[in-house]
Amino acid sequence: MAKILVHDSIDGTRVPFLRGILTRSLHDAGLSFEDAYGLATEIRHELGDAGEVTTDEIRSRVLKHLRGEYSPEILETYATPVRSPATILVQDSNGETTPFSRAKLIQYLESCGLSNEDASQATTRVYDLLIEKGVETISSGELGALTYACLKDDYGEDAAHRYLVWVDYIRSGRPLILLLGGTTGCGKSTIATEVAHRLGIVRTQSTDMLREVMRMMIPKRLLPVLHVSSFDAWKALPMRSDSSSENLVAEGYVNQANLLSVPCEAVIQRALRERVSLIVEGVHVYPDLMEHIDTSGDAIIVPIILAVLKRKRLQERIAGRHSHAPKRGAKRQMSSFDAIWNLQSFLLSEADRTQVPIVANDDKEKATNLVLGTIIDALSEGFNATPEAVFGHPPDKPQEDDRK
């Protein structure tokens, strides 16, 4: 069945419908686990491919099933569940307080590489524990320690460690520079947009846009190699070698990429001076671009090459561009597909040579999580801080609940 999003009528958040969460609510209301699970399953089948429902709609469906089949006490308990405090306030290190936001914590956990479903479940666990303890105000350090403990308990040491690394990085104020390269059609812009959203990065730069600016400044007659596609750049070289077609494509690309390295370097150096995070994406994010970047500071610089490793799949993606963006020249790109495929082979070889991570983009969600995981891996190098040092509070083991 298709995934269904549940719109919380109280705080406006949207999370996936989780049968386990509904089962727990029904179990807490007095149903046996078997009956609770069976009713939750029936509700899921009723919803079918609804796409999105509200918590009120789900509650209404459940109450309809409960009436006449279970005792009035169970019906009343489910209809009037224990409500949380009006707000749970989170106090930061400066003493300022903000309301606890489940949506914000979900996004934060997704930044650590958790799937949306796992992030939603972990957030629900944290929220339930706060409610059970009757917490009205909690420090950000205590909340972080509790989240760390829940992740360790439910998802293991690795997930908890990634969260610890990410919290430490966020508090450090260090800029992140993500360099996302790959050939035409491999999904660079899509993944860059998704990663920027999850990490809260507001500055992104496409190398295609930088090339357009350069084309306006430098006429075609002066620099023809700049005015053609990256996979066709070899055709504009003043002197061509007698190499194979694969080597010619690589030669033309490198020539054009070297021209684009100047504005790319300028954009990156400005971000470093201003200490702001930045994503640079485009075919011209060549592995050797790292040689032009000042790495003496404390910025985290992560180069990644995206790839679609199946030839037919990449063809389908390029062909599909025409329906979504008719002006992007999908037909012309399909006619030059061999050159595009050769360019990807070259980029993968260069990434392997320079030890730049390669992420296969067969699925947007998986690729996004792999990119986020690669960032966390880069942050983890040399990291040895303890939870107590990061949170200023020991991560106590969460209380047991009835989920198991």
Does 357 lie in the same domain as 240?
Answer: yes
Residue among 372, 343, 376 at smallest CA distance from 181: 343
- The pLDDT value recorded for residue 312 is 92
- Give pLDDT tens digits for 243-294: 788 889 999 999 999 999 999 999 999 999 999 999 999 999 988 888 878 8
Q: What is the DSSP string of 344-404?
A: HHHHHHHHHHTT--EEE-SSHHHHHHHHHHHHHHHHHTT----HHHHHSS--PPPPP-TT-
Does 168 lie in the same domain as 183?
Answer: no
Distance CA 37, CA 34 (A): 5
Domain edge (last residue) among 30, 52, 79: 79
User: CA gyration radius for the chain?
Assistant: 26
- The pLDDT value recorded for residue 403 is 42
Residue among 166, 198, 180, 163 at smallest CA distance from 395: 163
Percentage of the chain lying above the pLDDT 90 cut:
48
- The pLDDT value recorded for residue 72 is 83
Does 357 lie in the same domain as 239?
Answer: yes
- The pLDDT value recorded for residue 84 is 46
Residue among 92, 207, 199, 211 at smallest CA distance from 141: 92
Q: Which domain holds residue 164?
A: 89-172+385-391
User: What is the arithmetic mean of pLDDT over 358-378?
Assistant: 93
Please check whether residue 380 lies inside any domain of the structure: no
Does 139 lie in the same domain as 38?
Answer: no
Lateral strand order in the sheet of 5-7: 14-16, 5-7, 52-54
Please check whether residue 148 lies inside any domain of the structure: yes
Q: How many domains does the chain have?
A: 3
Count the residues in the chain. Answer: 404
Average pLDDT over the chain, rounded to an integer: 87
Number of C-beta neighbours around residue 353 at 10 A:
10
- Give pLDDT tens digits for 101-120: 888 899 889 888 888 889 98
- Give pLDDT tens digits for 88-98: 899 988 888 99
Please check whether residue 107 lies inside any domain of the structure: yes
Distance CA 247, CA 244 (A): 5
Please check whether residue 337 lies inside any domain of the structure: yes
- The pLDDT value recorded for residue 401 is 47
Domain edge (last residue) among 17, 44, 79: 79
Please check whether residue 376 lies inside any domain of the structure: no
Q: Which residue has the tokens 């009343």?
A: 76
Asked if residue 3 has pLDDT above 80, the reply is no
Does 39 lie in the same domain as 152?
Answer: no
Does 165 lie in the same domain as 105?
Answer: yes
Task: Judge contact between 305 and 181, C-beta under 8 A.
Answer: yes
Higher pLDDT, 224 or 399: 224
Please check whether residue 104 lies inside any domain of the structure: yes
Does 254 lie in the same domain as 159?
Answer: no
Does 72 lie in the same domain as 145?
Answer: no
Does 340 lie in the same domain as 323?
Answer: yes
- The pLDDT value recorded for residue 260 is 93
Longest alpha-carbon distance in the chain: 87
Q: Which residue has the tokens 């400005």?
A: 270
Task: Judge contact between 39 and 75, C-beta under 8 A.
Answer: no
Distance CA 234, CA 309 (A): 24
Does 329 lie in the same domain as 220?
Answer: yes
Does 147 lie in the same domain as 24?
Answer: no
Q: What is the DSSP string of 21-34?
A: HHHHHHHHHT--HH
Asked if residue 81 has pLDDT above 60, the reply is no
- The pLDDT value recorded for residue 351 is 94
Task: Judge contact between 27 and 78, C-beta under 8 A.
Answer: no
Please check whether residue 372 lies inside any domain of the structure: no
CATH code where residue 355 lies: 3.40.50.300
Buried b (16+ CB within 10 A) or exposed e, 28-53: ebbbeeebbbebbeebbeebeeeeeb
Please check whether residue 21 lies inside any domain of the structure: yes
Task: Look at 34-48, 171-185, 352-366 and tell me which has the smallest mean pLDDT.
Answer: 34-48
Distance CA 402, CA 269 (A): 53
Does 47 lie in the same domain as 105?
Answer: no
